[in-house]
Structure 1
Amino acid sequence: MKRLAAVVALLGLATVTAACSGGSTKTSGSGGGGGLFTTIDVNRPGIDASAPANPYNPKGNSFLGYNSMKLGFVKNHLTDPNQAYPGIAASWEVAPDNSSITLHLQPNNKWSDGKPVTAEDVKLSIGIAYTQGSTAFAITPGAAGAAADVQVVDDHTVKVTQDMKNPSMKFARGVLDTIVVPAGVWGSVLPADFWDKLKASRGEGPDAEKAREVITALGEKIIAFAPPKDTSAGPFTLERVNPGEALLVKNKNFYNAAQVAPDQVKFLNYTGNEQIWNYLIAGKLDQAGFTAAPTDVMNRIKQAAGSQLIKGFSPVSVGMAFNQSKKPYDNVHVRRGLAYLIDRDQVTKVASPEGGTPAVTTSGIHQKPAQEWLGSELSALEPYKYDVAKAEAEFKAAGLQKKDGKWALADGSPWKVSMHAPAGFSDWISAEENIKGQLTENGVDAEVVTTADYPLYLEEIAAGKYDVGFWLLALGPAPYDIYQRLFGASNGWTNVAGKIAHAAPGKGGNWMGSKETIDVDGVGKVNPGELTGKLNAASADQAKPIMLQLAKAANQDLPAIQLWDYVNTQFTNTSRFSGWPEQDSDVLRLPAGVWIQLGMVKKKQ
């Protein structure tokens, strides 16, 4: 899938001119240490020179891990969502019952203006997080994993307590994900009575509702805030920006500055994947996150001097999801029959040869953590290997008719599998075209329909406009998040203040339309949404048997066919820097700025 904040159509490999700088930049040969590190922000195309150095602004010239810092940077762990590397916080302790986290700040960290980073900076930043709808700092009544109290213990210690009425095992992660800004610069964005308003918002009635509205309204003010200059506690600070590039320079006050190899970092502008391809082919980038590319382009990238691909676990899969409000997809035998007609190895080879591995089966979990959660039970699940005879048996069990070599609905009317994908998602579209060919070859009429962009795609799929669409699954590592994709709001189940409610198909955003209860072989009758809700507060040991029941339910009922598990593929170049992460490293989903600030990346000797 294209990793762009705004989806840009792939128009083929086009010639791109080098972005011109607004002034001279120090190169590796000009002295002063580690030289220039060049990259792109793979999550955000287009540099807006007029945007502020504001980490909350979608177009802001704030780059996570470089001049924007979190309390901690979450590791890419298979099953534990709360493991993290230090950031603004040097260390932390989580209470045994998960009721609080106590943060200890880096003892020698300073902002780029020379002022120390203190607990008051953290408290202000948490206040800002409340206005942005942060998970740990949500103001929605009864929100899972929300903080109940923020206490400044001393200048370098902050304790955050969880509201245990509806706890979440991801509470520590939610706190560590907080971006920290300097109170001396940002203090004016929150009113003097903010914390009183926050206390009032936790109640009930009109006054509490009004307080919540006031806090939410502050979000827009914060997004628009433009600091007079970039004041950073990260390894770099923004020096200048123009439409072609953003230039950051080393922050000598950063707590680990001695281990930061580059003197400068340059982010190059791009508007589409084809420009990233050209940068990589020309060897201009020291690092770039994964960008989908056709095989011929990928081969040219690999041939560039110093080019290196590093691969690791990415906790996400893609599935072919069904709208069971539409016939014949309400019949499980139809869904199983389609699963038997799709060769997942072939689909993956065509759609995502470098960025995916074929799903071993449909479990709802990426195959790597599935081995941890399910153990030997994983191999006991039905694999749905390509099998035409089994597909035909399933179609017949559903009452479908075969006329002149083509499958029709039970009443004899024509049947066409209409698959949808957003324009620009090259791997999804390639996959659907391949599936179309496989189905057509076996007597199932099929078509591929593209939607203008991803936001419209999400809007229309949620409205129940599609029969079949591609859907991201297995968003780990938290068990609750994994199964929310199959048995959450999109399939009728919502978690409000710890209580699970179910909406009928076509109501309340329920576009998948699975049955509320499923009779699972070897398990009995289960309510998948209620089981998923239990995962929110479950420990790892408590989660394992629940995960197994949900995997069996997903495997038997097939609300979606799991096609491939994504692989996190990073592009790096060894010509100028060394010390890159190892294959399968748990830092691979973090920005390269975090690799740099941890002292991993070194100037090549």
Structure 2
Amino acid sequence: MTIKKRLVLLSASTAALFSINVFSADLPANLEWKTNDSAPIFASSQATFGGTFRTYTLSFPQTFRTVGPDSNGSFRAWILEASLPPLIKHPNTNEWLPGLAQSWAFGDDNKTVYFRLNPKATWSDSKPVTADDYQFMLKLMRSTDIVAPWYNDFFTNDIADIITFDKHTIAIVSAKARNRDELIAYTNLMPRPKHFYGEPQIDANNDGIDDKFVRKYNFKPEPVTGPYYIDKIKKGKNITFKHVGKDWWGYENKYNQNRYNVEKINIKVIRDADIALKHFEKGNLDTFDLVRPDLWHDKSEGKNYQKGYIQKAWVYNQAAVGAGGLWLNTSKPMLNDINVRQGIMYATDFDMMIEKVLRGDYSRKPNGMGFGHPGYDNAALQAPKFNAKRAIEYFEKAGFTTVGPDGIRVNDKGERLSFAVTYSQQSFTPRVAVLKEQAKQAGLDFELNLIDGSSMFKYVLEKKHDISFHNMGTGEIPAYWEYFHSDNANKPQTNHFTNFSSPELDALIISFKNEFDIEKKQALSREIQQVIADANVIVPGYMVPYARAGYWRWIKLPEQIATKQTGYLFHGWGFSQTFSTFWIDEKTKKETKAAMKSDKTFEPVIIIDEAYKL
């Protein structure tokens, strides 16, 4: 089926439809304002509003800030995605759609994007969203008081300025010329509520930001522009999001209609996924992700599934996959030797893990920097296959020529070839255990270092790890500066997990950041990936090309239950990857509970949607 698309160009004469403000003389008169009202919707008109959605998280967040120390944990997605950027991307067609902005235009300089903010947009505390909130955002992100070097760098060196023309018209100016898609990606920034932060009590450096920002706002959730805000907090136990109501300003946008349907989201802290599964099967949680193969194939076959009270769905997606696998910290002894790292590459058997523990459901990443970035990914790279003999050759080059009584190699200093592998969930233990057992064949010891939840990521951000077993998210364009530029190496609270850098790599990363021509930029990306692969600092891990979940039959999904970008069917890690299209049917909920009491059964339901299977 062919989908017809229409991109509306707004002339200056029709601009008044989107803003009641009169432009200043400084606003270019020749701008072609764009909006998009003809992309296909992906929600259901059958959706109803109301009810409390009950889910869980493995650990309580260490902060509710989205910048600064400890802010990069898994709960960050919930907080960050509770606000809307100026534009959003259609999850199937990849078109830009209006979000916080009603319309947008490009400057002739290839640096500037103009946005007309929706004049009805408000923060969740009912205060209006204005251009002042953008000016405050720029000031906040440039301040050293937030203790966030990446943001300081980005908003200083990549964002040149934010220009206010009137209350709802702004321009965000890139420091460099960029092609249009990339330009939007760089300038599609969310404001911060100036009124919430007020005047700083202490401002020694006179930058308008409180010197005690990190501590003062650690557990103070700020207002948001989206439909859900944090309403109640029971520290260590529970977090509740509440909908601002059916009159949320965003519902005038047709792409938001019939989405964000539940009235409350209750997130309970349950520190063990298997215990959470028991809560789900007792009816204390509404849904449960069944991504893990043992959950889908073995642990979701009980009576509540057989009687049709709980349903299951498996949907494939085509979402881009971020960097990850095993991150080798080259600042640690022995891991600074490339021969050791090359040996680890061949001594790590992810393929065995995928086959034996993950039932073949997952796929191997072709390279450590991820997958699904057309043109940017180096297709020539392939993850190394397990080969104990080759691993031993590299280990012997590194001086580990003696095999100890426990089968682990030792060098002439008496150092064992042993590294701690840090990971965050008990359910990952069987996976890492496979890597440990296979590595022994090459005389390599992997010590299992389980640190639960957000504490694990804090440990890794502080660069305390030898090897970290984790994956990162990604956008459509791969990120390199945060992971590999020397500016971030050997510093806490950065994503430079390997601490590997080189002048060659630095130069390539800066060229990549600055390149305008899309083909040249993609070529630079492929070259960067080759240098990273040659450094042997990330053992490519696995990727999950689907979403899978169990859900009580009162939870309803649209007829087209997923999109190309659906990472989760239900809220589990924020809002954007679910696209918030499900709803709660209270009538079906009462019917189901009554049926359970009378032992009435329904037909079991298992949905497998391969529409976006590659």
Q: Normalising to structure 1: TM-score of the pair?
A: 0.65
More displaced, 464-473 or 134-143? 134-143
Match of 1:386 in 2: 386
State the partner residue of 1:160.
Answer: 172
Letter of the 2:311 counterpart: G
Match of 2:49 among 12, 34, 52: 34
Q: Which amino acid aligns with 2:53?
A: T
Question: What residue is the counterpart of 1:431 in the other structure?
Answer: 431
1:577 aligns with 2:579: no
Q: In 2, are the aligned partners of 1:417 and 1:467 still within 8 Å (CA)?
A: no
Q: Tell me if structure 2 keeps the 8 A contact 1:314–1:566.
A: no
Query: What's 2:505 paired with?
Result: 528
Q: Given the alignment, which residue of 492, 502, 506 partners 1:516?
A: 502
Distance 1:297 1:602 in 2: 23
Contact in 1 for aligned 2:327/2:497 (Cα 8 Å): no
Deviations for 1:10-37, whole angstroms, at most 9, x for unmatched residues? xxxxxxxxxxxxxxxxxxxxxx953425
Q: Which one-letter code corresponds to 2:443 in the other structure?
A: V
* Separation of aligned partners in 2, 1:353 and 1:75: 33
Q: Write out per-residue CA displacement over residues 432-459 of structure 1, whole angstroms, 9 at most, x where no aligned residue.
A: 321110122x151414142655666566
Partner of 2:536 in structure 1? 558
Query: Deviation of residue 309 (structure 1)?
Result: 3.8
Residue aligned with 1:250, SS: coil
Distance 1:213 1:417, change over 3 A: farther
Q: Displacement, 1:317?
A: 3.7
Give the C-alpha shift of residue 57 in structure 1: 12
Question: Is the 8 Å Cα contact of residues 375 and 522 (structure 2) preserved in structure 1?
Answer: no
Query: What is residue 524 of structure 1 aligned with on the other side?
Result: none
Counterpart among 517, 522, 526 of residue 548 in structure 1: 526
Q: Of 243, 246, 252, which aligns to 1:251?
A: 246
Question: Residues of 2 paired with 1:66 and 1:373: CA distance?
Answer: 26
Q: Are residues 96 and 393 of structure 1, via their aligned partners in 2, closer, same or farther at CA, if it must alter by over 3 Å?
A: farther
Partner of 1:212: 207
Matches within 5 A, 1:174-573: 175-179=187-191, 181=193, 187=195, 189-191=197-199, 210-212=205-207, 214=209, 216-217=211-212, 234-235=226-227, 247-248=242-243, 250-256=245-251, 259-260=257-258, 262=261, 264-272=263-271, 273-274=273-274, 276-282=276-282, 295-296=294-295, 299-301=298-300, 303=305, 305-312=310-317, 313=319, 315-324=321-330, 328-349=334-355, 356-360=362-366, 363-369=367-373, 372-374=375-377, 378=379, 380-381=380-381, 383-401=383-401, 403=403, 406=407, 408-409=409-410, 411=412, 413=414, 415-422=416-423, 424-426=424-426, 428-440=428-440, 442-450=441-449, 452=451, 466-470=465-469, 472=471, 475-479=474-478, 481-482=479-480, 484-485=482-483, 487-488=484-485, 493-494=486-487, 512=498, 514=500, 516=502, 527-539=504-516, 540-567=518-545, 569=547, 571=549, 573=551
Cα distance in structure 1, aligned partners of 2:382 and 2:263:
53
1:92 aligns with 2:104: yes
Deviations 1:83-139 (A, max 9, x none): 765432233334465522211223555667877655455555666666685999955
User: Post-superposition shift, 1:146?
Assistant: 3.0
CA–CA separation in structure 1 for the residues paired with 2:147 and 2:140: 9
After superposition, the C-alpha distances for 1:47-102 in whole angstroms (9 at most, x for unaligned) are 99xx99xxx99899996599754444567799x9xx76543223333446552221
Question: Aligned to 2:354, what secondary structure does the other structure show?
Answer: helix
How much has 1:477 moved relative to structure 2?
A: 3.6
Deviations, residues 265-301 of structure 1 (Å, cap 9, x unaligned): 342423323454235434665566x587571477444
Alpha-carbon distance in structure 1 between the residues aligned to 2:131 and 2:471:
38
Aligned equivalents of 1:239 and 1:468: distance in 2?
38
Within-5 A mapping of 1:99-114: 99-106=111-118, 108-109=120-121
- The Cα offsets for residues 329-363 of structure 1, whole Å up to 9 and x where unpaired, read as 44433333332233212223566669842223xx3
Alignment CA distance shift 1:516-1:34 (3 Å): closer
So what's the TM-score if we normalise by structure 2?
A: 0.65
Q: After alignment, is 279-288 or 98-107 more displaced?
A: 279-288
**1:164-202, Cα deviation, whole Å (9 max, x unpaired):** 599999664455342554xxxx637333999xx9xxxxx
- Residues 587, 381 of structure 1: alpha-carbon distance in 2 compared, 3 angstrom cutoff: closer
In structure 2, what residue type is equivalent to 1:178? M
Q: Distance in 1 between matches of 2:363 and 2:102?
A: 36
- 2:159 maps to 1:146: yes
Q: What does the per-residue CA deviation read over 1:198-241, in whole Å, with 9 as the maximum and x for residues that have no partner?
A: xxxxxxxxxxx8223845545655667689xx8x7544577777
Distance 1:248 1:193, change over 3 A: closer
The one-character-per-residue Cα deviations of 1:352-382 (angstroms, maximum 9, x if unpaired) are 669842223xx3321332x6324xx62x435
Count the aligned residue pairs: 514
User: Structure 1 residues 453 and 461, CA, compared in 2 at 3 Å: closer, same or farther?
Assistant: same
Letter in 1 for 2:368: G
Q: Is contact 1:311–1:568 with CA below 8 Å preserved after alignment?
A: yes
Q: Which amino acid aligns with 2:206?
A: A
Counterpart CA distance in 2 for 1:96 and 1:77 is 29
Q: CA deviation at 1:562?
A: 1.4
- Does the residue aligned with 1:448 lie in a helix, a strand or coil? strand
Distance 1:91 1:348, change over 3 A: farther
Letter in 2 for 1:211: N
* 8 Å CA contact 1:236, 1:251 repeated in 2: no
| Letter in structure 2 aligned against 1:102 | Y
Provide the aligned C-alpha RMSD in A: 5.4
Residue 421 of structure 1 and its aligned partner are, at CA, apart by 0.9
Q: Which runs of 5+ in 2 are unaligned?
A: 1-46, 589-614
Segments of 5+ residues of structure 1 without an aligned counterpart are: 1-31, 198-208, 496-501, 518-526
Per the alignment, in what secondary structure is the counterpart of residue 535 of structure 1?
helix
Which shifted more, 61-70 or 97-106?
Answer: 61-70
- The correspondence of residues 585-604 of structure 1 with structure 2, limited to 5 A, is 585-586=564-565, 588=567, 600-601=581-582
How far is the alpha carbon of 1:425 from its aligned partner?
2.5
2: CA distance, partners of 1:345 / 1:236: 41
Partner SS for 2:158: coil
CA contact 1:364–1:562 (8 Å) conserved in 2: yes
What displacement does 1:598 show? 7.7
Query: Contact between 1:463 and 1:511, CA under 8 Å: does it hold in 2?
Result: no
Counterpart CA distance in 2 for 1:372 and 1:141 is 24
Q: Residue 514 and residue 137 in structure 1: after superposition, are their counterparts in 2 closer, same or farther (change >3 A)?
A: closer
**8 Å CA contact 2:409, 2:444 repeated in 1:** no
* Residue range with higher mean Cα deviation, 163-172 or 323-332: 163-172
CA contact (8 A) 2:200 2:209 kept: no
What percent identity do the matched residue pairs reach?
13
SS in structure 2 of the partner of residue 385 of structure 1: coil
